[in-house]
Structure 1
Amino acid sequence: MLKVRIDLSVQLFSFLVMNFLFSHIVTFESDATRDRDSNWASGLCPENCTCKMMDYPKYKSFFNKTVVCIGVEFVNNVFPENVPLDVQILDLSHCHLVRLSFKLPLKNLRFLDISFNNLKMLDRQIHKLTALRRLIIQNNSISYLQNGAFSGMMFLEVLDLSNNQLYSIEPHTFGGLNYLKKLHLQGNRLHHLSPQWFISMPSLGWLFLSNNLIGRLKANVFETLSGLFTMKLDGNRITHIESGAFNGLTHLRILDMTDNQLQTIPTQELHDLPLLQYLYFDKNPILRIPYHAFHSVNLTMLTMSYMPELKVIEKESFSNLKHLVTLQLHDNSELVYIDPKTFVNCSRLKNLYLHNNKLGSVSSVLKDSLPALKTLHLYNNELECDCNAMWIKQENLKEKSNTTYRSVLFGDSMLKCSAPPSKKGKLLRDLPLSDLNFTCAPVLIPLFKNRYNLSIGEELHLECYTMGLPFPQISWRLPNKTILRKENLQSGRYKIHNNSTFILKYLYETDTGTYSCQAQSVSGFDVKSTYVTVNNKPVRISPEYVAGNFITISWNGTRNQWSMTGYEIHYRQSDRSDKFQIIPLDRRLRQFRYTFTNLTPLTTYMFCIVYVFETELYTVHCTNITTNDLDLNEIGITHINSKMVVGVVTSIFMLLILGCCVFVIRRVGKRKDYLEPLYSNDTESLMDVIPLESMYQGQTTSAACSSRTSLIQSQD
Structure 2
Amino acid sequence: MAATWGVLVTFALVTFVLFQTTGAACPKGCLCQPTTTHPFLVTCTGGNIMNIPSNLPPNITSLTLTSTGITEVRATDLKGLTRLTRLLLPSNKISTIESGALDDLAHLEFFDISGNALTALPSGLFKNCPILMQLNMGSNQISTLSESDLSGLTHLEFLDLGDNQITSIGARVFQDLDNLNRLGLSGNNLTDLDSTLFEYTPKLFSLDLSDNQITKISKSLFSNAKHLNQIVLSNNMISMIEDGAFEASNLNTLNIQLNNNQLTSITKNTFKTGGKEGISSLTLNDNKIATIEAGSFDHAKFLRTLDLSHNELTTVPAGLMSESVSLSLVSFEFNKLQSFPKGVFGTTTRVETLNLANNQLTEVGDGALDVYYLQEVDLSYNMLSEISFSGLKNVQTISLNNNKLKAPPTGLSDAAFLMTLDLYDNDMDEIPAHAFEGLERLSRLNLANTLNVNGTLNAQAFCNLPSLQSLVLDEDHLQSVPSEALNCLSNLTSLTLSYNQIKNITTDFGKSANLSALFLKGNGVSMVPTNMLMSYVNLSRIDMSSNLITHLSSNSFPNTKLTTLVLDGNRISFIESGAFVGLSSLETVNLANNQASYLPGNIFSGFKNLSKVSLDNNPWACDCLMKDFARWLNMSDPMLEIEVECRSPSKYFGKKLRDLDVDELTCDDCKPQTSAPKIDQSGGQVQGTVGKDTVLTCNVTACPQAEIFWTIPQSPGVELSKYSYQYNKFRVNYEDGSLTVADTMASDAGEYHCKALNGLGSDSKDVQLTVM
Aligned to 1:260: 500
1:85 CA displacement: 2.2
Compute the TM-score of the two structures, normalised by the length of structure 2.
Answer: 0.51
Instruction: State the shift of 1:306 in Å.
Output: 3.8
Matching residue of 2:253 = 38
SS in 1 for 2:414: coil
Equivalent residue for 2:421?
183
- Read off the aligned partner of 2:622 and give its amino acid letter: C
Q: Does 1:361 align with 2:598?
A: yes
Shift of 1:520: 4.1
Aligned-partner Cα distance in 2 for 1:533–1:139: 49
Q: Identity across aligned pairs (percent)?
A: 20
Task: State the distance in 1 between where 2:707 and 2:332 align.
Answer: 71
Q: Among residues 525, 528, 532, which one is paired with 1:289 in the alignment?
A: 528
After superposition, residues 28-427 of structure 1 pair within 5 angstroms as 36-38=251-253, 52-54=279-281, 65-74=304-313, 77-87=315-325, 88=327, 89-103=329-343, 105-110=346-351, 111-145=353-387, 149-169=388-408, 172-213=410-451, 217-265=457-505, 267-270=507-510, 272-319=511-558, 321-332=559-570, 334-368=571-605, 370=607, 373-398=610-635, 406=637, 410-412=641-643, 415-427=644-656
Q: Is the 8 A contact 1:260 1:283 kept in 2?
A: yes
Mapped contact 1:519–1:526 kept (Cα < 8 A): no
Distance in 2, matches of 1:46 and 1:197, equals 44
**Conserved in 2, the CA contact under 8 Å of 1:254 and 1:277?**
yes
Q: Measure how far apart 1:216 and its partner are.
A: 5.3
What's the offset of the Cα at 1:199? 0.5
Q: 1:210 to 1:526 in 2, by over 3 A?
A: closer
Within the candidate set 510, 518, 532, 2:700 is matched to 518
Is 1:475 the counterpart of 2:690? The answer is no
Question: 3-state SS of the aligned residue for 1:54?
Answer: strand
Count how many residue pairs are aligned between Structure 1 and Structure 2. Answer: 446
- The Cα shift of 1:310 comes to 2.4
| CA displacement 1:75-106 (0-9 Å, x = unmatched) | x6344543342242322222311122223524
Q: Cα deviation per residue 1:246-298 (whole Å; 9 max; x = unaligned)?
A: 1232222122222222112365224x121111122211111222443422413
Superposed, which structure 2 residues align to 1:546-625 within 5 Å? Answer: 618=772
Q: Secondary structure at the match of 1:349?
A: coil
For 1:595-674, what aligned pairs fall within 5 Å after superposition? 618=772
Indicate if the aligned counterparts of 1:508 and 1:534 stay in contact, CA closer than 8 A: no
Which residue identity lines up with residue 525 of structure 2 in the other structure? I
Give the deviation of 1:120 after TM superposition: 0.5
> Residue 370 and residue 123 in structure 1: after superposition, are their counterparts in 2 closer, same or farther (change >3 A)?
same
- Spell out, residue by residue over 1:682-712, the C-alpha distance to the aligned partner (whole angstroms, 9 max, x if none): xxxxxxxxxxxxxxxxxxxxxxxxxxxxxxx
Structure 1 range deviating more: 383-392 or 416-425: 416-425
TM-score normalized by the length of structure 1: 0.54
Q: CA deviation at 1:509?
A: 9.8
Please report how far the alpha carbon of residue 232 of structure 1 lies from its aligned counterpart in structure 2 after TM superposition: 1.9
Equivalent residues of 1:45, 1:84 under 8 A apart: no
Call closer, same or farther: CA 1:38–1:410 in 2, change over 3 Å: closer
**3-state SS, counterpart of residue 604 of structure 2:** helix
Between the aligned partners of 2:694 and 2:476, the Cα distance in structure 1 is: 42
For 1:197, what is the secondary structure of its paired residue?
coil
Which consecutive unaligned segments of at least 5 residues does structure 1 have?
Answer: 1-27, 400-405, 443-467, 485-493, 495-503, 539-564, 567-613, 619-716
Q: Name the amino acid aligned to 2:348.
A: K
CA change 1:201–1:469 in 2 (3 A) is farther
Checking the alignment, whether the CA contact within 8 Å between 1:130 and 1:152 is kept in structure 2 is no
Distance 2:270 2:323 in 1: 18
Distance verdict in 2 for CA 1:48–1:438, change over 3 Å: farther
1:529 partnered with 2:731: no
SS of structure 1 residue aligned to 2:430: coil
RMSD: 4.2
Change in Cα spacing, 1:72 to 1:268, as seen in structure 2 (3 Å) is closer
- Distance in 2 (CA, whole Å) between partners of 1:255 and 1:139 is 25
Are the equivalent residues in 2 in contact too, given 1:259–1:283 (CA < 8 A)?
A: yes
1:385 and 1:189 mapped to 2: Cα distance?
51
- Alpha-carbon distance in 2 for matches of 1:217, 1:155: 28
Give me the whole-angstrom Cα distance separating, in 2, the residues matched to 1:533 and 1:53: 75
| CA deviation profile, 1:460-506 (whole Å, cap 9, x unmatched) | xxxxxxxx976x244145xxxx266xxxxxxxxx5xxxxxxxxx686
